[in-house]
Structure 1
Amino acid sequence: MVVIRMARGGSKKRPFYNLVAADSRNRRDGRFIERVGFYNPVASDSAEKLRIALDRVEYWTKTGAQLSPAVERLVKDYSAKVSAAA
């Protein structure tokens, strides 16, 4: 089964997460199919904190991918922000 989840990167105490579509049997930071965005929780005010390719997330969910709870929350917040800006 394909899962859209966060893969942790960055250094110690400076997390950076890639939002990836991966096989659920692979490790959290292991092999993935496609990178669909990123989340930087410690970004400064001027830096970009979150970017998601909503079209790719929609494609993967239509093909049967599940969103992890954290990614589901981020996608919901990001899509509301994008629709408000447009």
Structure 2
Amino acid sequence: MATKIRLARGGSKKRPFYSIVAADSRMPRDGRFIEKLGTYNPLLPKDSEDRVRMNIERVQHWLNLGAQPTERVARFLEAAGLKPKVERKNLKKGEPGAKAKQRAEEKAAKAAEASAEE
């Protein structure tokens, strides 16, 4: 059985609240899970202690059994010191679009012309 440590969404519309759970990877996001390991409340400030709460012993137990954390839960585990930090790549998001690149080239060409005339 492939086990994941992931978030299960709760809370009402526009008021998210997540449970950190150990679940079979074939189950739906908010469906059946094996054990509740903690909570995550994204509405609280980032420096709040109650934003992410985890039962560290149980999380460590599931990691030792081979459970794979999702990307978001892996970040929580890195912050808690349970996993080593992993370098992540943001391949396309920081790169400007085609039109922005074209405008930058035109601006650079105009600046080069202006400096050549002086």
TM-score (norm 2): 0.62
> Is the partner of 2:16 in helix, strand or coil?
strand
Provide the residue aligned with 2:99 in structure 1. Answer: none
Aligned residues: 80
Counterpart residue number, 2:78:
76
Aligned to 2:115: none
- Give the counterpart of 1:60 among 42, 45, 62: 62
Percent sequence identity over aligned pairs: 51
Which ranges of structure 2 fall in alignment gaps of 5 or more residues? 83-118
Q: Would you identify which runs of 4 or more consecutive aligned residues in structure 1 move more than 6 Å?
A: none
Residue aligned with 1:32, SS: coil
Whose relative contact order is higher, 1 or 2, with alpha carbons under 8 Å and at least 6 apart?
1
Partner of residue 53, structure 2: 51
What letter corresponds to residue 77 of structure 1 in structure 2?
A: A
When normalised by structure 1's length, the TM-score is 0.84
Between the aligned partners of 1:66 and 1:20, the Cα distance in structure 2 is 12
Bigger-Rg structure (1/2): 2
Distance 1:63 1:49, change over 3 A: same
Matches within 5 A, 1:33-44: 33-43=34-44
Alignment correspondent of 1:25? 26
The alignment partner of 1:58 has SS state of helix
Question: Higher strand fraction: Structure 1 or Structure 2?
Answer: 1
The 3-state SS of whatever aligns with 1:18 is strand
* CA drift at 1:78: 3.0
2:20 alignment partner AA: L
Counterpart residue number, 1:16: 17
